Amino acid sequence: MRVDRPARGPQLSDMGRIAWGLAATALAVATAAIAQTAPRLLPYAAYSPDERLALAGKPALPEDEALQGAALRKEIARVALAQPYQPAPAIWKIADMDTSIYIFGTVHSLPPGFRWRNAELEAVIVGADTLLLESINDTASDVTFLEGLPSDASLPPLIDRVSHRSRAKLADLQAILPPQIVADLDKMPSWIAAMSIGTVRDMLAGDMPSQGADDWLEKHFRSLGRPVQAIEDSKQVVTNINAVPEGMQRMMLEAALIVPPRTHDQLDAAAHAWAQGQVGPGSPLMIMPESMDPGAAMADPLLTQRNNAWVESLIARLAARPGTILFAAGAGHFVGPGSVIDLLGKRGFRVERIQ
């Protein structure tokens, strides 16, 4: 799972595909929590498709499948009503005599049924011979949230990492989670625990994140046998994030616990802005380091280092070989001062916005 929506304080779109992939544990956490608080229905055993009992002509589903199916249908209907516009997400292009690189900002997880493709984007997808992503499933699957930490490193339980004003909120959340999940969260560095807790809270409030644009593009290119490459070393990125002082990470953890629950409109604001190509001043996609942590210590490994490295890689690829590349990465990296678009312009490259 790759999520591109914020837990209010930390902007998950800014965390990138790798970081959010590490927070996949939050899915299991939230699912377990929601299952414990959901209304009880008639329980049905899970039968194979050819043996499943029927009730009034309909398959008798296990309780968890029935609940998830009903919730998913309701969410898809809500999302459809919330998109009375034709999507046109931002796309940029840099090129030399024999190489074109299309730069496409993405959202790592979208509401179910969310529309984001249009004819212009699909023309770019069809014409690209290579897909370039932040990370790819082949290499990111073995990245853990402990990269760069000593093998004997240990952290205190989360309850001891937050201030007294937040401990009651954390205790209330832990009370509805299975003990093993609580233990797993206690083993996480504070920054990834903050992301997981933010996701759990959003899901308990009704959020249903699903596949993002990156995931769809990776599957599509692989199905056609086209090359899919990563622009960065996943393990090194997580190592750099883990090097952020613990005090700064705990500010993220604190923020994830104390912010008020959000409405669907607030949860979906970044996705709608992205789908409509709103990347100017005031865009919900704008990266705000102060919203991650007051000291902005997380902004360097999550944003600054990566944007600069990506620019160097894109420039090298322009000179390396002819062809057409589609570079798809978190939209927050292409918005505002210090963004990839801004840095390329400062290096003298003509960056053309084609959508």
In a domain, 79, yes or no: no
In a domain, 184, yes or no: yes
Q: Which domain holds residue 261?
A: 12-35+86-353
Three-state SS annotation for 110-139 = ECCCCCCCCHHHHHHHHHCCEEEECCCHHH
Domain count, the chain: 1
In a domain, 153, yes or no: yes
In a domain, 261, yes or no: yes
In a domain, 299, yes or no: yes
Cα separation, 230 vs 327, in Å, equals 10
Cα separation, 229 vs 240, in Å, equals 21
The closest alpha carbon to 340, from 259, 285, 266, 295, belongs to 285
In tens digits, the chain (355 residues) has pLDDT values of 333 333 333 343 445 565 555 554 444 544 555 555 544 444 445 555 555 566 666 667 777 777 778 888 898 999 999 999 999 999 999 999 999 999 999 988 889 999 999 999 999 999 999 999 998 876 556 777 778 777 767 789 999 999 999 999 999 999 988 888 888 899 889 988 988 888 888 888 878 878 889 999 999 999 999 999 999 988 888 899 889 999 889 988 998 898 888 888 888 998 999 999 999 888 888 766 555 555 677 888 888 999 999 999 999 999 998 999 999 999 999 999 999 999 999 999 999 999 9
In a domain, 65, yes or no: no
pLDDT at 136: 84
Residue whose token pair is 């994140």: 209
